[in-house]
Structures are given as C-alpha cells and as structure tokens.
Amino acid sequence: MREALSGLTVRGRAFLAAGITAVVCAILLGQPTLTRVGVLIAALPLLTAMTLGRSRYRLALVRSVGPQTVTAGQPSTVQLTMTNEGRTPSGVLMLEDHVPYVLGTRPRFVLDGIGHGWRRHATYQVRSDVRGRYEIGPMSVRVSDPFGLVELGRSFRSTATLTVTPRTVPLPPIPLGGAWTGSGDNRPRAFATGSAEDVTVREYRRGDDLRRVHWRSSARVGELMVRREEQPWQSRATLFVDNRLSAHQGQGIASSLEAAVSAAASIAVHLGQRGFTVRLVTSSGDDLSTTWHTREPELNTRAMLEALAVVQPVTNTRIDTGWLAESTHGGLLLAVIGAITEADGPMLRRMHHHAGTALALALDVSAWAPASGAGLGMVPASARPLLVRQGWRAVTLRPRDRLDLVWQDLGRTSAHAARSGAAADEIRPVAQGAR
C-alpha cells in the first residue's frame, strides 16, 4: 500500500487534496452534502491505489535481436513479445525499453485492455555509427489505472546484446609471403594432404610434457624424444593493432584509432576470404578470443570483427611483445601502426625478426591532430621511415586516403622487395664464382 500511495500521479494527488479540502470546508460551513462529495473524491485515488497494490501481475517478456552482429551504420531489429500469464486483467501499460544513447531514442509503447492470455508483439530498430558491444534492456513497465490516478513501476531483468563491428572496405588481392605455417611446432616440413594427424618426433626440450615422450624412438636414438603432433598446413597470419592512447590523435569516430581499427577489420575480412586463419594482437598483448584454434575461416573472421568491435585505447606507452614467445617464427605479420618513436625500435625489430614477412600500414597521426594545432609539434609524422629502417615493408595512410589504393601500394612494395631479393640471390653465386 505504501508503494501504491507513492505512485499517485499529479491527477491522483490533486483528487486527494480536493477531497480533503472539500471535507474541511463542509465541516466549517456545516454542509453535509459537500462532506459526502469530498469523501468520494478523496476515496477514489485511495481505493485505486489499494486495488493496484494488491494486484499481482504475471507479465512475461521475450526479446530477440536480429541480427545480433551488424556493421557500423547498419540497422538491427528488436522484437518484443509480451504476454499476461496471470488471471488478473491490468489497466493501461506504458512500456519503455532501455537502450544506449548511441543506438537512438528509447522506444515507448502504450498498451490497454490486457486480460488473461493476452499477447502482443512489437518491433523497433536500432542503429549505431559507433562500434562496440551494447546491452539492450531491461524493459521498464508503468502500470496505470483507467483514470490515470495511480502509476506503478515494474521492470524486467532480461537484456540482449548487440555487437556493432567496424566498417570494412573491400581490398584487392596483393602478393603475401611467409604465410604458410604448421599448426603444431611450426617447423617447415612437407606434409601430405589429408585429415589424419602426422606424428613425428624431435629432441626433448626443457619444459616439454613427459606424456609426449616417444619411448620407442628414445630407445633407438639413445636420448629422450617427444612426439610433435601437427595438422596439415594452413595459412596463418598475425594482425597487430597499435591501440596505445599516446599513439593516436582525434576524438570519436574521426580519430586515428578508429581509422586503425577500421583498416584492421578490412584486412581481417580480406585475409579470411583468402583462407587465412588470423589472430588479433594489440599493444597490450594477444587477444584470446581470436586464437588460431578456430579452424573455419568464416568463424575466425567473425571472431576477429567482434574482437575489433571492443578494442579500446590503453594507457601503456610500450608495445607488449610477450606474444612473440610462442612459436610464431616464419609467419605473416600485418600491423596497423600509429605514432612511434625511436624507443619503439627494439620492439619493432623483434616483431620483424619473428615474422617471415612483416607488412605495415603506418598512420600519419599528425594529420588527425586537432585543427587548432595544439600539441601538433609533439605528434610524430608518419611512422614509415622508422619501420623501413627496422626492415618492415610499410606504406603511409592518411585521413583522406582510400584504403584499397594504399593496400595496392603495399602490395607493390612487397612485390618490389621480392624481386630485389630474387635478383640478389642470382647475383651472389656469380660474384662468388668471379672470386
């Protein structure tokens, strides 16, 4: 009853005040008829509050979002199904679904005449230009009487998740080298195609699991040998995104970080279409949701896009290269780099050393600096020169550049480097013979 009295609307409080005033005036003026009118007016909101307070509603809500994963700028439809599982009919229901601000305004519905077995469907659309993972719900319900004197609030606990992935651009095919690696110990060797495991042995290394010791080979060789279980070869790549806060400029969707994430998403989709299994690495380390255990390229690409949807800037100023401790030597490394300094040189050199092919899109972060020029002199220019000195093949990406054309430039750079390397290999034997 206390909750019901607290739910009196302005109209209900006005009725209660008018009734009490009429009763007081009737007593002072000696008008018994006015007393009965005042009691009736004051009792109406009280009786309504008592009725709603004692009512027990059993409302059920089912919410579905389709599709649950969309690209930034694309709409998604939310479907609501509400039923009254109780036997008590309710009055007017005012529904409001809680959605984040970036998805649009909160949808509101007004329902009337809800009896036993009542069912109603409602739909609305949400859309966001900002990537991320958003919770839709819960639904809040306001129960009102037909006179609008009392209004009680209820809420459902169920929510639904909507993932908004970055925008992508179709990229043309370019030559990519150093991409084929095994799924076991990553040691280059020939494999026959097939689905069965190819089991080989190698020398025991400190830290190997003793359950992998191959005793027959160990007895034949005279030293401990362990099984190296590898699957047929598959094309793998590591995608690195520089998400350090100090390496980017700009605000919101117009920042260099968003450009880097969008470029990385386009590269992930492109590699997935070419059959690559890709994992995501950021400045804070390896992303566990995009490990190489996902065998299907489509599932791997979806996991990559969902991981890129929630990439946030980190405050650390150094690039974490702990993920290089794994057996990743000889693979393909694609990096989207922000502003770097000479202090980042050792990390970039180590990344290049562990990759068979290291390609980079270097953002000209100074072009994303505020128009006022505040702090512009502290922002380094394109990171390409430093990357090239560390052995990378890199091109520069600016705000107005088309990503597909920059990607083609990166392919031409890789092709030129490959031709130069082949020419050097041909010249070297001739020079040795001349000596």
**For 163-172, what is the mean pLDDT?**
95
Highest mean pLDDT among 72-86, 222-236, 253-267, 361-375: 253-267
Q: What is the pLDDT of residue 86?
A: 67
Task: Extract the tokens encoding 220.
Answer: 């034949």
**For 276-303, what is the mean pLDDT?**
77
Does the pLDDT of residue 171 top 60, yes or no? yes
**For 10-18, what is the mean pLDDT?**
90
Q: What is the pLDDT of residue 196?
A: 36
> Mean pLDDT in the chain?
80
Q: Where are the domains of the chain?
A: 2-54, 59-165, 186-232, 234-432
Q: What is the pLDDT of residue 232?
A: 44
**For 395-420, what is the mean pLDDT?**
82
Burial class (CB within 10 angstroms; exposed 0-12, middle 13-18, buried 19+) of 290 = buried
CATH topology of domain 234-432: Rossmann fold (3.40.50)
Does the pLDDT of residue 145 top 80, yes or no? no
| Closest C-alpha among 399, 417, 396 to residue 407 | 396
Cβ–Cβ under 8 Å, residues 325 and 350: no
pTM across the whole model: 0.74
Range of weakest confidence among 150-154, 261-265, 386-390: 150-154
In this chain, the answer to whether the domains covering 59-165 and 234-432 adopt an identical fold is: no
Half-sphere exposure of 431 (CA within 13 A, CB side): 6
Does the pLDDT of residue 416 top 80, yes or no? no
**For 287-312, what is the mean pLDDT?**
78
Does the pLDDT of residue 377 top 50, yes or no? no
Does the pLDDT of residue 20 top 70, yes or no? yes
Does the pLDDT of residue 199 top 60, yes or no? no
Query: Which tens digit of pLDDT belongs to each residue from 59-99?
Result: 788 899 989 999 999 999 999 988 877 666 666 778 889 99
Q: Cβ contacts of residue 403 below 8 Å, gap of 6+?
A: 169, 171, 262, 263, 266, 397
234-241 vs 277-282, strand pairing mode:
parallel
Q: How confident is the model at residue 424 (pLDDT cuts 50, 70, 90)?
A: very low
Q: What is the pLDDT of residue 114?
A: 67
Range of weakest confidence among 26-35, 131-140, 191-200, 241-250: 191-200
| Closest C-alpha among 20, 26, 60 to residue 42 | 20
- First-to-last alpha carbon distance for the chain, in angstroms, is 104
Higher pLDDT, 413 or 418: 413
Q: What is the pLDDT of residue 50?
A: 81
Cβ–Cβ under 8 Å, residues 34 and 22: yes
Residues of the chain with pLDDT > 70, as a percent, come to 77
Q: At residue 128, what is the residue type?
A: S
For residue 124, the cross-strand partners are: 78
CA angle in degrees (0–180, nearest 5) for 373-378-384? 105
Q: What is the pLDDT of residue 124?
A: 92
CATH 2.60.40.10 fits 59-165, yes or no: yes
Range of weakest confidence among 239-253, 302-316, 364-378: 364-378
Does the pLDDT of residue 435 top 70, yes or no? no
- Where b means 16+ CB within 10 Å and e means fewer, 104-120 reads eeebebebeebeeebee
**For 225-246, what is the mean pLDDT?**
77
**For 287-304, what is the mean pLDDT?**
71
**For 20-45, what is the mean pLDDT?**
89
Does the pLDDT of residue 161 top 90, yes or no? yes
Does the pLDDT of residue 422 top 70, yes or no? no
Q: What is the pLDDT of residue 309?
A: 95
**For 333-345, what is the mean pLDDT?**
91
SS3 33: helix
Q: At what angle do helices 32-54 and 10-29 cross, to 10 degrees?
A: 150
69-71 vs 59-66, strand pairing mode:
unpaired
Q: What is the pLDDT of residue 226?
A: 84
CA trace torsion 25, 28, 30, 32 (10° rounding): 40
Phi-psi sector, 142: left (phi>0), alpha (psi -120 to 50), beta: beta
Cβ–Cβ under 8 Å, residues 15 and 57: no
Higher pLDDT, 124 or 185: 124
Which strand (E) or helix (H) includes residue 139?
strand 139-144
Residues of the chain with pLDDT > 90, as a percent, come to 34
Q: What is the pLDDT of residue 312?
A: 93
